[in-house]
A and B are shown apart, each in its own frame.
Chain A
Amino acid sequence: GAVVSQHPSRVICKSGTSVKIECRSLDFQATTMFWYRQFPKQSLMLMATSNEGSKATYEQGVEKDKFLINHASLTLSTLTVTSAHPEDSSFYICSARDFKRGTNTGELFFGEGSRLTVL
């Protein structure tokens, strides 16, 4: 099956620093990747849609200058949390669609998630 890998799985940083999370599709090409955020005991909220070679599309209420998304290749998207603060502590999950087989099913393949803790 299609595999999506996220790195790092856990990261702790100091307030004011920036953190980069990588999302890779290992065995397929993903023209579109999606970034979600999950607070404890809550559901997954879509943050942004990342399109290879173009600017990301952010959901309402998500600060694009704080959550920088880059999708430079068909297998890699990155999320950078800039000037992180404790309220940014959360579980971040990326997902990708295999454009060769996922378009007709709507299915997304999810990474393992990255838990960010900002001290």
Chain B
Amino acid sequence: AQSVTQLGSHVSVSEGALVLLRCNYSSSVPPYLFWYVQYPNQGLQLLLKYTSAATLVKGINGFEAEFKKSETSFHLTKPSAHMSDAAEYFCAVSQAGTALIFGKGTTLSVSS
């Protein structure tokens, strides 16, 4: 069975500071990994995805994530937070042909 664990249900940063959202996965086979962002009362927007190509994945809005097999991690980072980054972030895992399994989410707050 697959699963993801997002460490920290709430992360607060100052504008311009580094953003680090943690995600660890569990999978018996090489996984596909995703980060999604959700703004209030909206659907999901894909930030980036890992599909066994490059381990460092660059996404939209300046976000990137690094797949580390040895640590079973796929942490999301952004060098400099912006106020508009405040949202809910979900890490998800899947295998080919299966549904995505989501973590519990991390709320990112950005203060000025």
Contacts and interface: CB of A to CB of B under 8 A. Distances in A.
Contacts of B46: 107
Interface string A60-74: 000000000000000
Main secondary structure of the interface of B (DSSP, over half): loop
A107 B101 contact: no
A113 B43 contact: yes
Interface size class of B (residues with CB under 8 A): 20 to 34
A110 B43 contact: yes
Given A43-B103, A44-B102, A46-B101, A106 B42 contact: no
Contacts of A107: 32, 34, 46, 49, 51
Contacts of B97: 32, 97, 103, 106
Contacts of A95: 99-100
A54 interface: no
A43 B4 CA distance: 12
A106 B90 contact: no
B74 to A, nearest CB: 13
Contacts of A104: 51, 96
B22 interface: no
Interface of A: 6, 32, 34, 42-46, 49, 93, 95, 97, 103-108, 110-113, 115
Interface of B: 31-32, 34, 36, 41-44, 46, 49, 51, 90, 94-105
Those 4 A-B pairs whose CB atoms lie nearest each other, nearest first: A106-B32, A106-B94, A112-B43, A105-B51
Given A106-B49, A106-B94, 8 more contacts: A93-B43, A103-B96, A103-B97, A105-B32, A106-B34, A106-B96, A110-B44, A111-B43
